[in-house]
Structure 1
Amino acid sequence: MPRRQATAIGFIAVLLWALLALFTVGTAPTPPLLLNAICFAIGGTLGLIWTGSTGGFARLRQVPLRVYLFGTLGLFGYHALYFSALRLAPAAEAGLIAYLWPLLIVLFSGLLPGETLRAGHLIGGIVGFLGAALIIGGGATGFDPQSLPGYLLALACALTWSTYSVLSRKLGDAPTESVAVFCVATAILSALLHLATEETVWPQGTIGWAAAIGLGLGPVGLAFYVWDIGVKRGDIQLLGVASYAAPLLSTLVLVLTGVTSPSWSLAGAAFLITGGAALAARASLRSGVTQSTDG
């Protein structure tokens, strides 16, 4: 598969993840681990059907156990943190902090062999984190200590997913079909932990179940398979750069659907986080041009 095509396929995940916060809000008050189990059961089933239709089960036997452990922990960790964050803090603000991951991917990927971390990446990082600081500081309304746990969990989300995505490059030989196993294992792990630690509260009514199913089919289903193709076979820095649209798109979806009220502090945070990623994007593109010229 050409690198450009793989990168474009990976970007489909960004568009699907723009709906992650909206659907998560729609599933309230389902607890995070139960929601994890429901969504990944759907996403895993989707992957197993695709794997079976392409004859990919034979390739799964060749995947080392450490790869399955890594993938399961990555998917389980990010979404357990994300769902918890949106239960403990306002959706738009927590979502914006979680969407620092595109910026962090650009920064972390600069540490990979053959990649370069430039001054523009660092400046973009500072700008993006100023946006997160604006959210945590509460903007015009001031610091809200009740939301702080949710914001910290959202920051942990960003660190988890960016680290997972960058380290996935080290596992480039693992077939994309292995993501189906990650999803099924995540569903089982989430269900067991749910039974041990949470009270069972199923999604409420048609909207609740529609949101849960939508999560499993899209942002917590198809998105993982196309993202896996992108980060392993495409341009990982360009994907990180293109992903700067994720926080803006997610915030716009929440505002347009009436879940979140527009405010200057929210707009400022979205501008800083998106702008920081754009600055890092510019540095990556310039780096790519320089490397092409040198070659």
Structure 2
Amino acid sequence: MPANFYALGAIALWISLASLGVSLKHVPPFLLTGVALLIGSTLALPFVVRDRTQWKIPTSTLALGVYGLFGYHFLLFIALRHAPAVEANLVNYLWPLFMVVLAPLFLRGVQLRAVHVAAALLGFAGAAIAILGAAGGTASGGWSWGYLPALASAFIWASYSLLTKRVPAFPTAAIGLFGLVSGGLSLLCHWALEPAAALSAQDWLLLAVMGLGPLGAAFFLWDKALKLGDARQIGILSYLTPLGSTALLMLVSGRALSWSIGLAAAMIIGAAVLGTRAR
């Protein structure tokens, strides 16, 4: 299905996000996100220059886009500051599960079957094994209030993804406007909440790669996938993101792939096959 190819394209780009983030970990997170989103928004400029109506969308649609792109990253960064990173990241990856189970509530005519729930739970279990296994036993137990914004960020991305199918149809190029406004808000957060930082030439190069890839083109591909495809199937496929991201991060850091990655891969691929075959 074409929708799944667009979704897989977005997933492939998001897989590189963690590795790029490690290379830019010295950059304040709101500065990083703001610059990358602004760079990513430039991908829409050729379409807007050719047809200025591409960015003439209802205010409610723009608000939804900012809710998704800015709200998700804002809460995720708050979570990562106030909760153990491994567990917060795992809570954040509840968003594919939310996409599946919330689809009937947000979308008319969509019903949830047992096979979809089973596939989503299998995918989340695989993601948990991948993330916790990669932590190498360094994950810390106990409750942290930072899990609440992590949970909220997962809900925001899932609900944003589903609600884009509810609002009046808008051109995919409008994602660039979402990124432009969200990037501006992120830079305001940097100015208000973070210390000033100087960026090197290498930092700018990596920020350009991040902006054009996982915080740019991925959002356009994701929107196209949601417009064409079944949100339940796309949500299940999305569990390939934490699997691929964790595996790539281990390879980049020179760590050998563990049995947990192999088991997680089998579970997530099995969930994807199960979910995409469901009718």
TM-score, normalised on structure 1?
Answer: 0.78
Which whole-Å deviations, capped at 9, do the CAs of 1:54-86 have from their partners, x for residues lacking one? x2312422x110100110121012223344555
Gaps of 5+ in 1: 289-295
2:170 equivalent to 1:177 = no
1:198 to 174, 194, 197: 194
- Judge conservation of contact 1:90–1:147 (CA < 8 Å) in 2: no
Shift of 1:87: 6.0
Distance of aligned partners of 1:140 and 1:179 in 2 relative to their CA distance in 1, 3 Å threshold: closer
The one of 31, 36, 42 equivalent to 1:34 is 31
Q: Deviations over 1:72-120 (max 9, x none)?
A: 1210122233445556677666545433323332222244222221223
Q: Which moved more, 1:30-39 or 1:237-246?
A: 237-246
Worse-matched range after superposition: 213-222 or 29-38: 29-38
Q: Report the alpha carbon displacement of residue 231 of structure 1 after superposing the two structures with TM.
A: 0.4
Paired AA for residue 71 in structure 2: G
Q: Where does residue 76 of structure 1 map in the other structure?
A: 70
Q: Distance in 2 between matches of 1:221 and 1:46?
A: 7
Secondary structure at the counterpart of residue 171 of structure 1: coil
Q: 1:228 to 1:129 in 2, by over 3 A?
A: closer
| Aligned equivalent of 2:252, options 242, 249, 257 | 257
SS of residue paired to 1:161: helix
After TM superposition, list the pairs within 5 Å mapping 1:88-103 onto structure 2.
94-103=88-97
Deviation at 1:15, TM superposition (A): 0.7
Tell me which residue corresponds to 2:58: 64
Cα gap change, 1:244 to 1:143, in 2 (>3 Å): closer
- Deviation, 1:230, is 1.2
1:242 maps to which residue? 237
**1:120–1:279 contact (8 Å) kept in structure 2:** no
Output the CA distance in 1 between the equivalents of 2:3 and 2:128: 34
2:165 aligned counterpart, secondary structure: helix
Q: Could you tell me which residue of structure 2 aligns to residue 291 of structure 1?
A: none
Equivalent residue, structure 2, for 1:144? 140
User: What amino acid is the match of 2:222?
Assistant: W
Is 2:256 aligned against 1:282? no
Deviates more, 1:117-126 or 1:173-182: 117-126
Within 5 Å, give how 1:208-227 maps onto structure 2.
208-227=203-222
| CA RMSD between the two structures | 3.5
How far apart in 2 are the matches of 1:147 and 1:23?
Answer: 29
Q: Name the CA distance, whole Å, in 1 between partners of 2:59 and 2:135.
A: 46
Identity %: 36
1:267 CA displacement: 3.8
Q: Specify whether residues 40 and 140 from structure 1 end up closer, same or farther in structure 2 by C-alpha distance, changes over 3 A only.
A: closer
Task: Check the 8 A contact 1:203/1:212 in 2, yes or no.
Answer: no
Equivalent residues of 1:120, 1:283 under 8 A apart:
yes
TM-score by length of 2: 0.82
Q: Verify the 8 A CA contact 2:87 2:139 in the aligned structure 1.
A: no
Provide the rounded CA distance (Å) in 1 between the counterparts of 2:135 and 2:212: 35
Match for residue 161 of structure 1? Answer: 157
Figure out how many residues of one structure are paired with residues of the other and give that number: 277
